[in-house]
Amino acid sequence: MQRRKFLATTGSLMVAGSLTLGSAWWRATRWSPFNVRVEHYQMGLSGLPSEFVNARIAQISDLHLSDIVPSEYLQICIDKLMAERPEAIFLTGDFLTAAPGHQRGQVFETFGSSLQKLLRQLKAPLGVWACLGNHDISVGPGRMTQLLEDSGVRVLRDAWTRLRFPGGVQELAIGGLRDRLEFPHPARAFQDLPEGEPILLLMHQPDLFEEWEGPENALIFAGHLHGGQVNLPGITSHFVPSDYGNKYLSGVFRKGSRTMLVNRGLGVIRHRIRFRSPPEISLISLTQTEA
């Protein structure tokens, strides 16, 4: 009788364990990769012009349009973003996936038109702005820049300009850096920006925040790390593509007068899986801070 009870209990535990693992695997591979969240942030800049106080910026990153990140899912993300009616839209790189073993030109030819169809839907009073990511460099920075520009997206590569609302009189600097694969030069790129002037800055890889040589009074927008994609304490840092482990995985980081927001991205690479790192649309409200 005891043996029967033991076997019955063991069997029940095995079934329960299998169901739990099965449920977790389904959630990580079928639900979490597409459960996009709109995350809200307030981020401040010293000397922010009054016309830009409470202006809202939407940031998306790492679309990775590919066989495992379908355009139908990204269309849902675009619809969610546009429903927020932001004043500016920032795209921080990796639009396509330069998958190992694939012809780079083939990736562009296969997914380029679908990407363009998605991007052309993005509209905002202060414009749609982008920097390139490492996958974009692998696919081809020239043709990726051209595709984005033809879609109504302004690409900034070690360059800056100024934003102005239609009918407004005040301006706010905006800049973008090249990806680390292109050896960016922030000190040279912003050498003619007046010292202390506030700037919004797009870059793909957050490691540059640690190695910073650019303007100090800056709000920086980055991506690249997917929040770890599969975020397991003590394990993720061994696989995340950063020289600083999990330090800049996602969220808001501050050093002195500069602040960086690292977006978790919309897409995935290698495998359609996310765990403890849901895809993200960032919605940022600008505020003015003390010098």
Q: What's the CA gap between 23 and 5, in Å, rounded? A: 27
CATH number at residue 183: 3.60.21.10
232/146 same-domain check: yes
Is the pTM higher than 0.85? Answer: yes
Query: In the structure encoding, which two tokens stand for residue 211, read together?
Result: 């190695």
**Start-end of H helices in the chain:** 2-26, 71-83, 104-119, 134-139, 141-150, 186-189, 207-210
Q: Which domain holds residue 1?
A: 1-34
Give the DSSP letter of residue 194: P
108/4 same-domain check: no
170/204 same-domain check: yes
**With 0-12 CB in 10 A as exposed, 13-18 as middle and 19+ as buried, what is 195?**
exposed
252/240 same-domain check: yes
**Number of domains present in the structure of the chain:** 2
159/177 same-domain check: yes
**Start-end of H helices in 141-290:** 141-150, 186-189, 207-210
pLDDT at site 106: 86
Tens place of pLDDT for every residue, the chain, 291 residues? 454 554 455 444 444 444 444 555 445 665 578 999 999 999 999 999 999 999 999 999 999 999 999 999 999 999 999 999 999 999 999 999 986 655 667 889 999 999 999 999 999 999 999 999 999 999 999 999 999 999 999 999 999 999 999 999 999 999 999 999 999 999 999 999 999 999 999 999 999 999 899 999 999 999 999 999 998 887 777 779 999 999 999 999 999 999 999 999 999 998 999 998 999 999 999 999 976
Q: What's the CA gap between 266 and 263, in Å, rounded? A: 9
Q: What's the CA gap between 12 and 9, in Å, rounded? A: 5
50/194 same-domain check: yes
In Å, what is the CA distance from 123 to each residue of 14, 24, 119, 126, 152? 53, 38, 9, 9, 8
pLDDT at site 32: 76
**Tokens 């292109």 label which residue?**
182
255/189 same-domain check: yes
13/98 same-domain check: no
